[in-house]
Amino acid sequence: MRIGEVAERAGVSVRALRYYEEQRLLPADRSAGGQRRYPDSAVERVRLIQQLYAAGLASAVVREVLPCVDSGEVPPGLLDRLVDERALIEQRITDLLAVRDRLDDVIGVVRNPDPGCAHGR
């Protein structure tokens, strides 16, 4: 599959795919003319990479995780690192929920201002 097709199917830019290749996250073969060629599985791999990045994982951690997904084998120390990353994600979720709740409060005040409040006028 060509780079443009993978990008379109995965919903990412060609530039992102080149970056993933540069980071050694997404291997590509080259045609005789030098064009990148990807296996059909590349689309799902790109989606996984996107999810891992969205979770806040750095390229180095993603690079460690991907072989585990492929082989099912976990190198020593990776599990502890992933548990730590998960704890950070949990904290971010907690923080985001608190921010959302505060925004809900502000939205409520703006929609239904206290009649004695000068800010609502």
User: What spatial distance separates the first Cα and last Cα of the chain, rounded to whole Å?
Assistant: 59
Interior/surface letters 43-58, b for 16+ CB within 10 angstroms, e for the rest:
bebbebbeebbeeebe
CATH code, residues 1-73: 1.10.1660.10
**pLDDT-based confidence at 118, cuts 50/70/90?**
low
Residue 7 near residue 13 (C-beta atoms within 8 A): yes
The residues near 66 (Cβ < 8 Å, ≥ 6 apart) are 25, 45, 48, 49
Of residues 81, 49, 83, the one with CA closest to residue 66: 49
pLDDT digits (tens, 9 = 90+) for 86-114: 999 899 999 999 999 999 999 999 999 88
pTM for the model stands at 0.72
Are 44 and 50 in contact, with CB atoms under 8 Å apart?
no
Residue boundaries of the structural domains of the chain: 1-73, 76-121
pLDDT tens per residue across span 22-80:
999 999 999 889 889 999 999 999 999 999 999 888 898 899 899 888 888 888 888 89
Q: What per-residue confidence (pLDDT) applies to 90?
A: 94
Residue 120 has pLDDT above 60, yes or no: no
